[in-house]
Structure 1
Amino acid sequence: MTFIKHLPEALQEHWQASGFSEPSMIQEKSFHPLQEKENLLGISPTGSGKTLAYVLPLLLNVEKDHGSQLLILAPSQELAVQISQVVRDWATLLQLKTQSLIGGANVGRQIEKLKKKPEILVGTPGRVLELIKTKKIKSHLLKTVVMDEVDQLFHDRELNLTKQILASAPTEFQLVFYSATADRVVEEAKKLTDQLTIIDVTNEDQSGGVVNHYFMALSPRKKSDYLRSFAYTPDFRAMVFFNQVADLGSVEDKLIYEGLTVVGLASDQNKTLRKLAIDQFSKKRAVMLLTTDIAARGLDFEAIPFVVNAEVPLSEESYIHRAGRVGRMGAAGSVITFVNDATKRDYQRLMKKIELPSKEIFLYDGAIHLNRKEKNTVEKKHSKTKLPHKKDPVTTQQPSKQTAKPKKRPKSNKNKGARRKLSQPEA
């Protein structure tokens, strides 16, 4: 019998109405320890339902009209907003109020909403700490603190903010940590509590779909050309990751000039532009979301078939979380990484460390192939075949005629893309 049978009737009905069947492994194994108020570190693959793994049991410990008792911290505004939407969806059924507290939003409005004494708070460390210091959040009422994507929250700057938040609250509260790569921060988590239950289902969880990993060798100057060819391929839809905001902005300008429906999501945008990009991509009004690691964690878009790394990710964690945007809850997907002569070895070392097999693929004649173009027409005919796995969404169909080489672009305006001035790697 799963834990679903132990939920209030309203939550059971919502579980069924949401189309869920059996709980994932991390959800099943997390329920009772969290309900029993144990300090817990949960580790499971991306897309395995970690948010509900902690939300459902912890909601049962929250008392209506007793002030803010549950605080959930997330490393980015986007993730905090998405978590708050999930929490609110379930908490409302128990007549519990949820308030999101993120930087970039109007702090005055957030303070006004805090006067309604929401039982659950979801926010980013900087804004939460600001409201604690001004005594707008009564931290002594907190009973549980959750750190989603904890390995990000344990980076130097975020860790300092997080520790200040914890120091402001009583020592009796429950600490909860979750991430796909939280195994890398076990020792840091143990410094915060000497009683920690660790649940790691990474090698047992079977909820993910088939994900194929590929790389393509090309000149860095050809990124936008390759992405344009991909965009005209039937059924193509992808999150395209960049290491630097400046590179993202340059490619975005070129693709928009070509008339492609792409949107960009980066840290130098305001909250409105970020929300617009997410909405456009979620509603499938854009074929590509060009972004950085700001969107690598937690953001959940329905059935994305592709992730494209416009360059080799800077770390193992970065690759794992980017790749986790596909293959969620049983859906198939492909990850394609662009490499060049200078980065190919970096890519090979990266894949060896995370123990993922990958294959080289090629783009010519407007299609993707597993083999190089052969001079012999017979060999060429046989090499132009679909990639082997039947669930692999990589397609070899010909693009539309719109892929013809466009006219030469005019010189860009000096102010064009001015909002993208950052050039350092993003976390």
Structure 2
Amino acid sequence: MLKQFEAHFKDLGYTEQTAIQAAVYEPMVGDHNVLGLAPTGSGKTVAFTLPALANLLPGDGTQLIVLEPSQELAIQTSRVMRDWAKLLDLQVLALTGGANVKRQTERLKKRPEVIVGTPGRVLNLVSDRKLKLHLVSLLIIDEADDLLTGDTLDTVRSIAQAAPAEVQLGFFSATDTPILHELDQWFGQTVERIDVRQQDQTQGVVRHGLLEVGMGKRNQMLKRMLAMPNFRALVFFKQANTLRQTATRFYHEHMSAASLTSDLRQVQREKALQDFRLGRIRLLLTTDVAARGLDIPKLPAVINYDLPSSVNEYVHRVGRTGRMGEPGQVISLGDDHDLRDLKKMLKDTDYELVPVYFSGRTLTTERPTAPVKAPVATQAPSQEGVPVISKKDDATVPVAMQPTDQPAAKKAAKPVKDVVSNPSKKKKHKNRHTKNKGMRKKWRDHDEQNQK
């Protein structure tokens, strides 16, 4: 490690490198193609940043391209790399979709040494000849298990083909997929596989809870969770429509929540994420766009509002909490059938899924018991003021002392008169006209008497 990096490493409070950082440094500095596999939250960004920057020349144009699957992750990675790059007088530029293309093109004229971007925007600028890759010596594909799928795989390969033939390749991922075993075939170069997932010790204690809640009551459950002290959570949805409905409802109810979705403008997405990181809002509602790579320091919990459909989705979602030794809580919501399916899907993993319950203002693993209603006491005759114990439902309940100084007549209940109903007899109602007629007759008789 360079001396500048060693000093900054200590300034940031780190005492030693993580397993992935120590394992990939020498191979990458030695120009080897590598595939680095490490758990979420194990410092993969710094792992490829330090060796990648060590080989760059200041003022020599764009030499390093880093590809990320989302705008948020590209911006986050660019900030981390910029913090280290300034020690070597290197410039870092983020190129993401959704941002102003003209502004990005103007910044490219300053010839930054490092480009961090999303594949679509990078390829568009390369195709328009705004971004030239003839000096690029290293191409890093972060979250490789996600980027090397579907149409994105073709985009990444096109970028690699636009770079020099001898370009060094770096792939990094938290989960293993079949294509990561076929990198030699897809990219035409031998790739050294470095897997430290079993040796890594950076993961904190994370509890994985199953909370049985029907779809119609999940919003109410989120509101109840906000009553817990210091509670914050990243809430994952499957359907964007469900997310929007929940976000709209919470907005009108003045709940401490915001949404992070792909249809928002970049400025809105950045503000929502920044507010959540700073604790200004306590619930960040999102889709799997935020499941990968995002680093939210000391995030207490992750909530699966909608359950993930694959093991990889679950791994990346829950990887947002319990990072760098911090404790975390995962809460998966669903009905009995949903939770059974989730347990079946994760049966071959090391996750221990435990039923949890919301009681009072806390989550607990103990099933709450229904409150026992006191049996209704029936009053029985007493003699000489002795307390009476009446029995009902095999339970004895003390009854209040019976007064002994009251006359028997007062104790006796009043007799009830028998009422014989006559269905043929209808109640006679006075009507307004009959009443007026009688009044008119009264006044006529009064006038006749006065005339006499």
Q: TM class, shorter-chain normalised?
A: 0.7 to 0.9
In structure 2, C-alpha distance between the alignment counterparts of 1:15 and 1:299, rounded to whole Å: 21
Deviation string 1:197-248 (CA, Å, 9 cap, x unpaired) is 1110111101111011011111101110000000111121111111111111
- Report if aligned partners of 1:43, 1:180 keep a CA contact under 8 Å in 2: yes
Counterpart amino acid of residue 180 in structure 1: A
In structure 2, C-alpha distance between the alignment counterparts of 1:350 and 1:331, rounded to whole Å: 26
Q: Which runs of 5+ in 1 are unaligned?
A: 1-5, 378-427
Counterpart amino acid of residue 108 in structure 1: K
Partner in structure 1 of residue 221 of structure 2 = 226
Deviation string 1:48-103 (CA, Å, 9 cap, x unpaired) is 00000000011011111111110000010100000000111110110011111111
Deviation string 1:109-129 (CA, Å, 9 cap, x unpaired) is 111111111111000000100
Relative to 1, partners in 2 of residues 1:272 and 1:376: Cα closer, same or farther, differing over 3 Å? closer
Counterpart of 1:279 (choices 262, 274, 281) is 274
Relative to 1, partners in 2 of residues 1:182 and 1:71: Cα closer, same or farther, differing over 3 Å? farther
In structure 2, C-alpha distance between the alignment counterparts of 1:92 and 1:374, rounded to whole Å: 59
1:238 aligns with 2:261: no
Describe how 1:199-218 pairs up with structure 2 within 5 A: 199-218=194-213
- Report if aligned partners of 2:145, 2:180 keep a CA contact under 8 Å in 1: no
Counterpart amino acid of residue 244 in structure 2: G
In structure 1, C-alpha distance between the alignment counterparts of 2:99 and 2:365, rounded to whole Å: 47
In structure 1, C-alpha distance between the alignment counterparts of 2:144 and 2:327, rounded to whole Å: 27
Counterpart of 2:22 (choices 21, 28, 52) is 28
Deviation at 1:365, TM superposition (A): 3.7
Deviation at 1:184, TM superposition (A): 4.2
Partner in structure 2 of residue 318 of structure 1 = 313
Counterpart of 2:41 (choices 44, 47, 50) is 47
Deviation at 1:131, TM superposition (A): 0.7
- Report if aligned partners of 1:33, 1:40 keep a CA contact under 8 Å in 2: yes
SS in 2 for 1:343: helix
Q: Which runs of 5+ in 2 are unaligned?
A: 373-452
**Aligned-residue CA RMSD (Å):** 1.3
SS in 2 for 1:177: strand
- Report if aligned partners of 1:351, 1:357 keep a CA contact under 8 Å in 2: no
In structure 2, C-alpha distance between the alignment counterparts of 1:221 and 1:20, rounded to whole Å: 46
TM-score of the aligned structures, taking structure 2 as reference length: 0.80
Deviation at 1:366, TM superposition (A): 4.2
The total of aligned residue pairs comes to 371
1:72 aligns with 2:80: no
Deviation string 1:159-198 (CA, Å, 9 cap, x unpaired) is 1111111121221000100010145432242221441111
In structure 2, C-alpha distance between the alignment counterparts of 1:67 and 1:78, rounded to whole Å: 25
Deviation string 1:230-272 (CA, Å, 9 cap, x unpaired) is 0111121111111111111111122223321111101111111
Partner in structure 1 of residue 87 of structure 2 = 93
1:251 aligns with 2:237: no
Deviation string 1:277-329 (CA, Å, 9 cap, x unpaired) is 01110110011111111111111111001000002112111100111011111
- Report if aligned partners of 1:26, 1:48 keep a CA contact under 8 Å in 2: yes
- Report if aligned partners of 1:312, 1:346 keep a CA contact under 8 Å in 2: no
In structure 2, C-alpha distance between the alignment counterparts of 1:104 and 1:234, rounded to whole Å: 36
The ranges of structure 1 where at least 4 consecutive aligned residues each deviate by more than 6 angstroms after the TM superposition are none
SS in 1 for 2:346: helix
Partner in structure 1 of residue 283 of structure 2 = 288
Counterpart of 2:124 (choices 120, 130, 133) is 130
- Structure 1 residues 79-88 or 183-192, which shifts more? 183-192
Counterpart amino acid of residue 6 in structure 2: Q
User: Identical aligned pairs, as a percentage?
Assistant: 39
SS in 1 for 2:204: coil
Partner in structure 1 of residue 105 of structure 2 = 111
Counterpart of 1:121 (choices 100, 115, 119) is 115
Partner in structure 1 of residue 190 of structure 2 = 195
SS in 1 for 2:122: helix
Deviation string 1:364-408 (CA, Å, 9 cap, x unpaired) is 44432323222467xxxxxxxxxxxxxxxxxxxxxxxxxxxxxxx
1:159 aligns with 2:118: no
TM-score of the aligned structures, taking structure 1 as reference length: 0.84
Partner in structure 1 of residue 162 of structure 2 = 168
Compare relative contact order (CA 8 Å, sep 6+) and give the higher one, 1 or 2. 1
Rg larger in 1 or in 2? 2
Counterpart amino acid of residue 226 in structure 2: A
- Report if aligned partners of 1:43, 1:183 keep a CA contact under 8 Å in 2: no
- Report if aligned partners of 2:33, 2:169 keep a CA contact under 8 Å in 1: yes
